[in-house]
Chain A
Amino acid sequence: MIKITFDKLDPESITNLVKKPNNGAVITFLGTTRNNTENRKVLHLEYEAYIPMAEIKLNEIIKHIHEKWDIEDVFIAHRLGKVEIGETSLVVSVSSPHRKLAFDACQYAVDTLKLIVPIWKKEFFQEESKWINSSNV
């Protein structure tokens, strides 16, 4: 399951959706917005996505997880738009009969998401704003 939304994310309800009676482990990763980067104070962040492609790429990640690991269920949710400091921008929740698989699959999902899913983050400072990973020349 995936969700790309401008609304606040609810990690608890997402976790409950992947939790099944035959699971021994449920891992939920939260990506939260930090108040600083390279010693500069960040005021808030904004996320932008190429939504139809991001949905396809998130589903590819989930498909690959099911092929590679004995995972019961996966939910990836990403927030877009303005996100205040300390709020949750990403939720990845994975359930499995065994914890090691759930940890591995969750880490794979987060790492791969950052590489292939077209979502961009902009940090807002006091005097300027900057897209992350883009050398802003």
Chain B
Amino acid sequence: MQVKIKFFALYKEKTKTKDTIIEISENGTIQDLSDLLIEIYPNLSNFKNKFIFAVNYEYQDYEYLLKDSDEVALIPPVSGGAK
């Protein structure tokens, strides 16, 4: 199955990618996707422990089961507003 993945801010710069489609096995989890992303984009490996994912606009944990056509976003630490 395929999921759409979107990168933002720091991760968009590190991957030089705004969004892409990734092929992942049926019943793949966010953990599986995370491992795949590190393989495809070795530049991300330094941030692996900080990855936060959203699926279809909701934060999800690493056990979350992905479905075909999900929109997954790799979310950098947020910093809206001002300090």
Contacts and interface: CB of A to CB of B under 8 A. Distances in A.
Tell whether A pairs with B.
yes
B82 interface: yes
B65 to A, nearest CB: 20
Mostly, the A contact residues are mixed
Contacts of B80: 47, 49, 54, 78, 90, 113-114, 117, 119-121
Contacts of B46: 137
A52 B59 CA distance: 13
Contacts, number: 77
Nearest to A80: B80
Interface in A38-67: 47-50, 52-54, 56
A45 B25 CA distance: 40
Nearest to B13: A131
B81 A118 contact: no
Given A110-B81, A118-B8, A120-B79, 9 more contacts: A48-B9, A50-B54, A52-B57, A78-B81, A89-B82, A90-B80, A114-B81, A120-B10, A132-B79
Top 7 closest pairs, chain A to chain B, by CB: A119-B80, A31-B82, A133-B77, A120-B9, A132-B79, A53-B57, A90-B81
